[in-house]
């Protein structure tokens, strides 16, 4: 099956996509909000099915860097507290936030922005009816101001509004410790019509056929442009190619590359191009692209400058889309449900890495702040910066008297905590129970695995032989595989062998031959015939291979036995010394152990979080209530597919108000509406009302909820995708004071 480029669902403009579906006749013009949401979800699910899964040339180095970034969150002391940042207070009142100047260093990264237009759709072909970000002329100066900011860090909106630039956004969120600079070049002209790059495969709802070609063409044109020196955009060694631990040195690759194509993005309906428009995304070029007519002193790419990573955005894009995609360039993952499996994850507009990129009176122009988790990630990858400061509370140190902490508003770096982390005991999840004894062999779980366990067996005197074992597996069907492999001892050629649990089906080209995939639905008996190797000494191995995305629980094997002519030639029950050499496999008791914790932050409607008060749905602006946002982080998950595992996921807010919102037709509203009042507070929330095509969604329950109590249920029985299954340790988090202007709050953490 042919697959196109990736799509970034977080920046899907669902209202514009609905308009596209109506124009194409796939959705009634008078569809209810529930029907619209369902149609858009179905459309996006089709795109998710066709997401590319191949590895780029530098994937191994990408994976190593991603692992180091993840480990850094635990080791770089993000929330170890720094005296003045403990924010502990016994005073009766809570003072307003007091901004604290940043006297540390500032990291400045250089961004290359290239404009490229289609011969059949020049950049000024966008019509006013196709976008909320319409300009008569999409000039270089417009993008320079929108991305890098004018003298004051802002740019002019389509109606003269003063809008925040990408640079200003990052400076505010990082507390002045991170910024970008760069240059915009173009418009260059592409060689082929828009459909050549953005047409969907398979039609009509697949993914972009060849966006990488457009990126390569833009780079080749830029190399011929006398107004730009591409060497200025190589100051980082993102993947530490020379292994010296220095990431701030040239590596011959363009560091941060933004490509702007000349149409509306497909994520916003694609304008007159529709499905032939490119969907904004961050990706790589597959293989490193050596840019013609360039030179560099760095030795890696035959003396030429090269490119690998890129982001691509539309001509009418606002700062929200650009800032979101650039977050990926800094290593951040998406925080939304990337396969649109249900009603949506409980992040929504609370973070730019989910729906927050579309906040604003003009959608996308007032992106909301990063989640506390995202700031923790960025702080850990940029030690010594100012993304996040605060303190960590260990669960076993919490007493009935508790500890009081003061939180400043998330958008201002003040003298109190930016956030507070509460570490919990390691989470134990029973995946399976070994069929006998205490242990079974386990393949591991994760992406890009290539794990084996192998042994040598003497069958020289045998006329027939069999392999039998007990097995339990949950392996991503048709993408990840287990296999039993054999080779003559001394040979280098492994061969997969057929058994009663294998398949030769190979819909995506991933099956190693006779593969094991899907779910066993409990422990089953596996049998493989080894008689073809009778009379030989053989090497036997269990092999587990996963691709670059989506990991399931993995593969367990136990009670392994090889029988030759009725005599046991090998037996291993995983209890004593192993008969196998383990390379990635390990003995396991069937219990997965993972870290989980809470992150507390205070959100309001100031700074970039003004966008939380300006969420355009239908014909009116909605608002998320200010207050204490309690994030529950569960590292046992690497996704937020709440339709697959309701209440579970790697990140989500705990919703203070567990009332389920329903449209007037009694259809459950999506999570983005359910969590509008997720914050804990001493003050009442605001009334909430949406009216679209005759359907209404009303929430008049404005009662304050100042206390989080983990003995309560927060799994939202009526809208389980919006819930969080929090563990019960007897923990309570109570808002006990708020400043008059709601820029700071005092919180008691106790049992």
pLDDT tens across 692-739, in order? Answer: 888 999 999 999 999 999 999 999 999 999 999 999 999 999 999 999
Query: Are the C-beta atoms of 208 and 197 separated by less than 8 Å?
Result: yes
CA quadruple 183, 187, 191, 195: dihedral, nearest 10: 100
Q: What is the pLDDT of residue 440?
A: 98
> 144-190: per-residue pLDDT in tens?
999 999 889 999 999 999 999 999 999 999 999 999 999 999 999 99
- 3-state secondary structure at position 19: helix
Q: If pLDDT is split at 50, 70 and 90, which confidence band does 88 have?
A: very low
Q: If pLDDT is split at 50, 70 and 90, which confidence band does 262 have?
A: very high
Higher pLDDT, residue 338 or 459: 459
User: 């170890």: which residue's tokens?
Assistant: 80
Strands 403-408 and 744-750: antiparallel
DSSP state, 414? B
Q: What whole-number distance in Å separates Cα of residue 313 and Cα of residue 280?
A: 5
Higher pLDDT, residue 72 or 43: 43
Q: What is the pLDDT of residue 20?
A: 87
Query: Are the C-beta atoms of 296 and 305 separated by less than 8 Å?
Result: yes
HSE, CB side, 13 Å, CA atoms: give it for residue 581: 7
Q: What is the pLDDT of residue 508?
A: 86
Q: If pLDDT is split at 50, 70 and 90, which confidence band does 65 have?
A: confident
Backbone phi, psi, residue 713, to 5°: -90, 130
Q: pLDDT exceeding 70 applies to what percent of the chain? A: 96
Q: What whole-number distance in Å separates Cα of residue 352 and Cα of residue 369?
A: 6
Lowest mean pLDDT among 69-83, 106-120, 148-162, 647-661: 69-83
> 451-481: per-residue pLDDT in tens?
999 999 999 999 999 999 999 999 999 999 9
Q: pLDDT exceeding 90 applies to what percent of the chain? A: 82
Tell me: pLDDT of 68 over 90.
Answer: no
Q: If pLDDT is split at 50, 70 and 90, which confidence band does 73 have?
A: low
Bridge partners of residue 561, in order along the sequence: 468, 571
Tell me: pLDDT of 77 over 70.
Answer: no
SS3 content of the chain, % helix, strand, coil (to 5): 20, 30, 50
Q: What whole-number distance in Å separates Cα of residue 333 and Cα of residue 327?
A: 8
Q: What is the pLDDT of residue 626?
A: 98
Backbone phi, psi, residue 35, to 5°: -65, -40
Q: If pLDDT is split at 50, 70 and 90, which confidence band does 86 have?
A: very low
Lowest mean pLDDT among 26-40, 182-196, 449-463: 26-40
Residues 494-520: b if buried by 16+ CB within 10 A, e if exposed: bbbbebebbeeeeeeebbbebbbbbeb
Average pLDDT for residues 377-405, to the nearest whole number? 96
CA distance readout (Å), 457 to 25, 482, 492, 562 = 64, 20, 16, 9
Higher pLDDT, residue 487 or 42: 487
Query: Are the C-beta atoms of 690 and 621 separated by less than 8 Å?
Result: no
Q: What is the pLDDT of residue 36?
A: 86
Which sign, positive or negative, has the C-alpha torsion 186, 190, 194, 198?
negative
Kindly report the average pLDDT of the chain as a whole number: 93
Average pLDDT for residues 681-700, to the nearest whole number? 92
Residue 220: closest CA among 300, 294, 284: 294
Q: What whole-number distance in Å separates Cα of residue 136 and Cα of residue 213?
A: 28
Q: What is the pLDDT of residue 550?
A: 80
Q: What is the pLDDT of residue 1?
A: 38
HSE, CB side, 13 Å, CA atoms: give it for residue 21: 24
State both tokens at 273: 């191009």
**For the chain, which residues make up each domain, given as ranges?**
430-593
Which sign, positive or negative, has the C-alpha torsion 221, 224, 225, 228?
positive
Superfamily of domain 430-593 in the CATH hierarchy: Galactose-binding domain-like (2.60.120.260)
HSE, CB side, 13 Å, CA atoms: give it for residue 721: 23
CA distance readout (Å), 664 to 34, 672, 714 = 10, 17, 24
pTM, full prediction: 0.90
Q: What whole-number distance in Å separates Cα of residue 70 and Cα of residue 76?
A: 11
State both tokens at 518: 């899907």
- 3-state secondary structure at position 1: coil
User: 């890495």: which residue's tokens?
Assistant: 353
Q: What whole-number distance in Å separates Cα of residue 400 and Cα of residue 395?
A: 12
Q: If pLDDT is split at 50, 70 and 90, which confidence band does 629 have?
A: very high
Tell me: pLDDT of 281 over 70.
Answer: yes
Average pLDDT for residues 739-747, to the nearest whole number? 98
Q: Is the peptide bond before 204 cis (omega within 30 degrees of 0)?
A: yes
State both tokens at 98: 């007091």
Tell me: pLDDT of 85 over 50.
Answer: no
Q: What whole-number distance in Å separates Cα of residue 301 and Cα of residue 296?
A: 9
Q: If pLDDT is split at 50, 70 and 90, which confidence band does 84 have?
A: very low
Average pLDDT for residues 85-109, to the nearest whole number? 80
> 137-153: per-residue pLDDT in tens?
999 999 999 999 988 99
Query: Are the C-beta atoms of 72 and 378 separated by less than 8 Å?
Result: no
Q: What whole-number distance in Å separates Cα of residue 168 and Cα of residue 150?
A: 10
> 113-137: per-residue pLDDT in tens?
999 999 999 999 999 999 999 999 9
Residue 624: closest CA among 638, 642, 643, 610: 610
Residues 219-247: b if buried by 16+ CB within 10 A, e if exposed: bbbbeeeeebebbebbebbbbbbeeeeee
Query: Are the C-beta atoms of 326 and 334 separated by less than 8 Å?
Result: no
Strand ranges in 434-578 using DSSP code E only, listed in sequence order: 440-442, 450-458, 465-475, 481-488, 495-496, 518-519, 524-529, 537-545, 554-564, 567-572
Q: If pLDDT is split at 50, 70 and 90, which confidence band does 89 have?
A: very low
Q: What is the pLDDT of residue 661?
A: 96
DSSP state, 409? B
Q: What is the pLDDT of residue 55?
A: 75
Q: If pLDDT is split at 50, 70 and 90, which confidence band does 70 have?
A: low
Give Dmax (Cα) for the chain: 87
Candidate list 172, 325, 404, 409, residue with the active-site label: 325
Q: Is 325 a catalytic residue?
A: yes
Q: If pLDDT is split at 50, 70 and 90, which confidence band does 90 have?
A: very low
Question: What Rg value do the Cα atoms of the chain yield, rounded?
Answer: 27
């Amino acid at each position: 099956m042919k697959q196109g480029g990736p799509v970034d669902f977080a920046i899907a403009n669902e209202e514009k996509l609905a308009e596209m579906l109506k124009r194409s006749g796939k959705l009634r013009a008078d569809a209810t909000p529930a029907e619209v949401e369902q149609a858009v979800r179905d459309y996006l699910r089709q795109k998710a099915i066709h997401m590319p899964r191949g590895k780029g040339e530098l994937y191994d180095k990408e994976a190593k860097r991603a692992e180091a970034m993840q480990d850094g969150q635990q080791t770089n002391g993000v929330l170890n507290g720094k005296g003045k940042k403990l924010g502990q207070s016994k005073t009766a009142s809570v003072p307003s936030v007091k901004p604290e100047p940043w006297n540390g260093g500032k990291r400045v990264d250089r961004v290359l922005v290239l404009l490229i237009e289609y011969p059949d759709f020049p950049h000024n072909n966008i019509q006013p009816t196709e976008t909320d970000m319409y300009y008569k002329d999409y000039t270089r100066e417009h993008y320079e101001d929108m991305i890098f900011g004018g003298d004051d860090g802002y740019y002019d909106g389509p109606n003269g509004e003063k809008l925040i630039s990408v640079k200003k956004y990052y400076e505010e969120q990082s507390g002045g410790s991170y910024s970008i600079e760069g240059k915009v070049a173009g418009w260059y002209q592409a060689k082929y019509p828009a459909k050549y790059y953005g047409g969907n495969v398979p039609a009509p709802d697949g993914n972009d056929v060849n966006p990488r070609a457009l990126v390569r063409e833009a780079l080749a044109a830029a190399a011929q442009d006398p107004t730009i020196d591409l060497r200025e955009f190589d100051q980082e060694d993102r993947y530490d190619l020379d292994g010296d631990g220095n990431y701030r040195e040239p590596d011959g690759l363009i560091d941060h590359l933004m490509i702007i194509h000349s149409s509306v993005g497909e994520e916003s309906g694609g304008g007159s191009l529709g499905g032939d428009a490119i969907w904004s995304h961050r990706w790589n070029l597959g293989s490193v692209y050596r840019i013609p007519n360039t030179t560099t002193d760095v030795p890696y790419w035959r003396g030429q400058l090269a490119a690998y990573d890129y982001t691509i955005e539309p001509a009418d894009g606002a700062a929200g889309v650009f800032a979101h995609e650039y977050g990926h360039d800094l290593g951040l993952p998406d925080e939304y449900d990337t396969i649109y499996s249900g009603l949506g994850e409980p992040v929504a507009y609370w973070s730019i890495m989910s729906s927050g990129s579309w906040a604003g009176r003009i959608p996308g122009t007032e992106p909301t702040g990063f989640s506390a988790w995202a700031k923790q990630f960025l702080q850990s990858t940029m030690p010594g910066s100012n993304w996040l400061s605060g303190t960590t509370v260990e669960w076993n140190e919490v007493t009935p008297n508790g500890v009081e902490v003061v939180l400043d508003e998330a958008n201002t770096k003040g003298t109190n905590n930016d956030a507070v982390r509460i570490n919990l005991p390691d989470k134990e999840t029973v995946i399976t129970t070994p069929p006998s004894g205490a242990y079974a062999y386990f393949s591991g779980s994760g992406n890009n695995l290539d794990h084996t366990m192998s042994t040598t067996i003497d069958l020289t005197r045998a006329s027939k032989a069999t392999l039998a074992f007990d097995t339990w597996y949950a392996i991503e069907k048709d993408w990840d595989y287990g296999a039993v492999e054999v080779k003559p001892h001394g040979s280098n050629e492994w061969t997969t062998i057929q058994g009663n649990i294998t398949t030769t089906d190979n819909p995506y080209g991933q099956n190693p031959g006779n593969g094991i995939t899907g779910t066993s639905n409990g422990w089953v008996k596996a049998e493989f015939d080894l008689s073809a190797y009778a009379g030989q000494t053989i090497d036997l191995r269990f092999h587990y291979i996963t691709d670059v995305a989506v990991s399931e629980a993995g593969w367990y094997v136990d009670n392994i036995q090889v029988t030759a002519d009725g005599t046991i030639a090998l037996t291993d029950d995983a209890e004593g010394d192993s008969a196998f050499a383990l390379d990635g496999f390990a003995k396991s008791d069937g219990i997965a152990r993972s870290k989980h914790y809470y992150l507390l932050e205070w959100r309001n409607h100031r700074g970039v979080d003004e966008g939380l008060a300006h969420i355009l749905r239908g014909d009116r602006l909605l608002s998320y209530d200010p207050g204490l946002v309690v994030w529950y982080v569960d590292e046992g998950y690497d996704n937020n597919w709440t339709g697959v595992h309701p209440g579970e996921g790697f990140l989500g807010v705990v919703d203070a108000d567990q009332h389920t919102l329903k449209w007037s037709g009694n259809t459950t509203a999506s999570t983005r509406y359910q969590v509008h009042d997720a914050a804990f507070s001493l003050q009442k929330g605001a009334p909430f009302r949406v009216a679209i095509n005759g359907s209404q969604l009303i929430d008049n329950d404005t009662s304050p909820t100042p206390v989080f109590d983990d003995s309560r249920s927060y799994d939202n029985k009526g809208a389980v995708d919006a819930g969080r299954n929090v563990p019960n340790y007897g923990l309570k988090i109570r808002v006990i004071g708020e400043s008059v202007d709601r820029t700071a709050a005092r919180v008691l953490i106790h049992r």
